[in-house]
Structure 1
Amino acid sequence: MRIGLYPGTFDPITLGHIDIIQRAMILVDRLVIGVAVNKDKRPLFDLEERVAMVTRECTPIAEKTGTQILVHPFDNLLIHCARDVGATVIVRGLRAVADFEYEFQMVGMNRAMDSSIETVFLMADARRQAIASRLVKEIARLGGDVSRFVTPDVETELLARVRQH
């Protein structure tokens, strides 16, 4: 069984993330969505909320395609998470050259720690390349329309959360 790991903070999950998830599912038999604890990013949604959001958004995709999707929170090194879930492939989405610079360094470090785990890069669909969770949150905070960047359920949760802050 080919197991892939698609890690991220998913704060919140966007249509860009969903695009990568749908295309990654073609490559693996099981896709694990690793929801990272990243205290440096100070997420808007707590870990449990992000796990629930990702699970809700991915369940219909898994049912439609027949590919198994598991949502797995993690707070350790990415390479350790990959080992924990039995992944042989780490899936990363790229939006722009700036993403590649960071990802290139990460691949080198991960390969130094475990050369048996491969990293695969998927380019975001052209319509989704500008979408970043950080920017979506900023647009929502400033009263902009985020409906082109997230699903309706995520939009509802996001707008409710930014009103609270």
Structure 2
Amino acid sequence: MKINRRREDTEENDHASLTTDQQDPLIKVLHQVISYAVRALSVLMALVILWGVVDVVYVLYQRLVQPPLLMLEIQDLLATFGAFLAVLIAIEIFINITLYLRDDVIHVKLVIATALMAVARKVIVFDYQILDPGYIWATGALLIALGITYWLVAWKHPRKVLLRQEYEDEPRDR
């Protein structure tokens, strides 16, 4: 598949998009199939988000009506936080899908941020008393790797920024 790198993609966002102007009819049809599949995923993700919100409300209600009434223990809080964060991650995935539908571009920075949020959710709800230390170390290494990756993707080289600013400040022939 041919990858088209638009000016705004290469200079500002560093995202690659699939072109829709294919010569091969099969590739055109496959691109449309993928587009419909992404739309279906978007609808399903919206349903998952709504289901997740209902689940959070239900779990919170059940925890609050158990004796002692209107009191939450630490395990209840962790379960509630986990449910909240799962819904927030689903919302981030939905945003990824809708951005892909709108721009036909995979936003790498947003995908990495979503992965960071998912791993952070895992760290928040860890039960450190039963987990193997190797698993905790591996998760920490994953968090560091994702953080460095996010920083590298988001980082703007000072010279590149300065050159872009000089380019934008130049008078243009119209």
* TM-score, L = length of structure 2: 0.21
* TM-score, L = length of structure 1: 0.22
> Looking at both structures, which has the greater relative contact order when contacts are Cα pairs under 8 Å and sequence separation is at least 6?
1
Structure with bigger gyration radius: 2
**Greater fraction strand:** 1
**Greater fraction helix:** 2
